[in-house]
Structure 1
Amino acid sequence: MKTVLIPTDFSKNSLHALQYAQQLFKCERACFFLMHTYGEEVYGAYKTVAKEDVERLKEEKEAQAQKKLDEMVNSVIGEPPNPLHNFETVASFDTLVDGINDFVDEMNIDLVIMGTKGETSNHNTTFGSYTIEVFKYVKCPVIAIPEDFEYRQPKAILFPTDYLLPYKRRELKLLGDLAGKFKSKVHCLYITDFDELSPRQEDNKLFLEGTLSKPYLYFETAPVKNKVDIILEEIAKKEAGMLVMMNSRHSFFEDMLYRSTVDLLGLKIKIPFMVMQNIKR
């Protein structure tokens, strides 16, 4: 059974992410954990609340969160409900990233699915600051769902990679299971001006090929130029239904994040964006 965590701030975008998750695992057993972290709501109000009233405020925020979580579950269960799906709710007095990481460890979560931005995000960008924090620091694969994306099976998946990272088997297995289920084509795209791979790259490529045995796998190259433009061009050319990247220190993805080019990508990407982690769990 898949265990899926859905962080929510009760925005339309987070509800949309939950509905996407239900469709993605429509035909298999899954437990969806809906989590709302309210630590920052309490700390944010701390300046205007007397110290002795903090515990009361925590109880109020928890009760409010639990009520909204229950309402959210009731709104998506369906009639009749999917017998393969279970729903659990979690109101956590914590920050978003810490709350997710602790719960991922505690429940051995397979996947986090969330909206690309929340209620308070800048509407001129696709990826909100909280989404980028989760991408970078959560020790679990994350899929971010654009708010206007209409669900469709990802028949083509674009996976830009430089083969320099030692991939985690569990991360690749998740991708392989998803792609295999939909009989997807996974296009591994290496952006380079060189014809040959180093021995380390060859080993990682072989590991990738051996682990992603269920989907149709393609290895392709593109000449070096603006990476964002190449990715967007390949998404359009392949009619990709999902973009996948690997996050690790000194990786292509981290380079994109710290140079803020993810904002340029996010302004134009209209498909789910999956970030696999190379961080030890």
Structure 2
Amino acid sequence: MKKILVPVDFSKHSEYALEVAAKIAKQHEAGIILLHMIGISDSVLANSEIAEEAEAKYYLKLAKEKIKEFTEKEYLKDISVEAIIQNYKDFTEVNNVGQEQNCDLVVMGSHGTSGLSELFVGSNTEKVVRTSDLPVIVIKKSHDDFSIKKIVLACDLDKESIPVYMKAEAFAKLFSASLEVVYINTSGANFMGFDDVEKRMESFKKELGKEINVTFYNHHSVERGMLNYCFEHDADLLVIPTHGRKGLAHFVVGSLAENVSNHAKIPVMTIKL
């Protein structure tokens, strides 16, 4: 790991993310790219050229002052930190910056006031998750001791999840952490019997090309099942595959996201399929 991209809006939640990114960077001798998007509105840009320039300079000055404060945090000592300020208004641009800067990971804060629902329902964090080609770690609280020892990958065991497993496995090795794979078997129309479950598991392992342990966890909700499993097994990180620009609809359909509890205490990593 060489570079970590951290989008910041100067909120306490983006600082939580920066703290975690700093811990990861120190562990792996990586650098940090701070990204702040000014987001000057169209109404400002519609003003006269002189007024527009003055307004832009004002916001840029404020952003530079704030980002300077962030770069001087004590926990960033001995870490290579670069700051980028852009006039982006769309958080989908984060992926472009990550690619241009050759970053390996995005670490981003989220308010998470409704558990994981903040991740799933149109927030800026969700926009980054949905459009990022890089793995994204979502941080919702301060972590005095960010230590990853056990990672849980929740996936549907479809063959397109194989690359996600490989990335999750590589990340686990990077942290010398264990990796558990869990399939949430929901009740109702999507419930699978034991034989079907066995077939899916064997097909996944065959595509993967090696033997792994897969746990099947029965629950009425995929979201609640993921969180319950992580809680019951003391996981430090939950990994979820995403379908890129299709969002997380494979895991969250309609109002199901509203059923996610506000007890998701651990970080969540998303990896694009």
What is the correspondence of 1:1-281 to structure 2 with a 5 Å cutoff? 1-39=1-39, 42-43=40-41, 46=44, 50-52=47-49, 53-77=51-75, 81-82=77-78, 85-117=79-111, 123=113, 127=118, 129-167=123-161, 169=163, 172=165, 174-192=167-185, 193-194=192-193, 195-196=195-196, 202=202, 204-206=204-206, 208=208, 218-223=213-218, 225-248=220-243, 253-265=248-260, 267-278=262-273
Asked if the contact 2:155/2:161 (under 8 Å) is kept, the reply is: no
Change (3 A) 1:159 1:45: same
Output the CA distance in 1 between the equivalents of 2:196 and 2:174. Answer: 33
Asked if the contact 1:149/1:270 (under 8 Å) is kept, the reply is: no
Q: Secondary structure at the match of 1:46?
A: helix
Output the CA distance in 2 between the equivalents of 1:31 and 1:74. Answer: 15
Q: Could you tell me which runs of 5 or more consecutive residues in structure 2 were left unpaired when the two chains were aligned.
A: 186-191
Output the CA distance in 1 between the equivalents of 2:105 and 2:133. Answer: 10
Asked if the contact 2:95/2:128 (under 8 Å) is kept, the reply is: no
Q: Deviations over 1:113-147 (max 9, x none)?
A: 01113xxxx85566261111211122221110112
One-letter identity of the residue aligned with 1:15: E
Output the CA distance in 2 between the equivalents of 1:68 and 1:33. Answer: 15
Output the CA distance in 2 between the equivalents of 1:273 and 1:262. Answer: 15
Residues paired across the two proteins, number: 261
One-letter identity of the residue aligned with 1:178: F
Structure 1 length-normalised TM: 0.79
Asked if the contact 1:92/1:99 (under 8 Å) is kept, the reply is: no
Q: Deviations over 1:47-81 (max 9, x none)?
A: 9x733322322222222212211210101455xx3
Percent identical across equivalent pairs?
23
Output the CA distance in 2 between the equivalents of 1:2 and 1:91. Answer: 21
Q: CA deviation at 1:101?
A: 1.9
Output the CA distance in 1 between the equivalents of 2:218 and 2:154. Answer: 13
Cα RMSD (Å) of the superposition?
3.1
Moved more, 136-145 or 187-196: 187-196
Q: CA deviation at 1:268?
A: 2.0
Q: CA deviation at 1:191?
A: 2.4
Output the CA distance in 2 between the equivalents of 1:206 and 1:18. Answer: 39
Q: CA deviation at 1:205?
A: 3.6
Output the CA distance in 2 between the equivalents of 1:13 and 1:29. Answer: 24
One-letter identity of the residue aligned with 1:74: E
One-letter identity of the residue aligned with 2:266: I
Structure 2 length-normalised TM: 0.81
Change (3 A) 1:156 1:62: same
Asked if the contact 2:35/2:85 (under 8 Å) is kept, the reply is: yes
Output the CA distance in 2 between the equivalents of 1:209 and 1:153. Answer: 30
Change (3 A) 1:264 1:57: farther
Moved more, 142-151 or 237-246: 142-151
One-letter identity of the residue aligned with 1:46: V
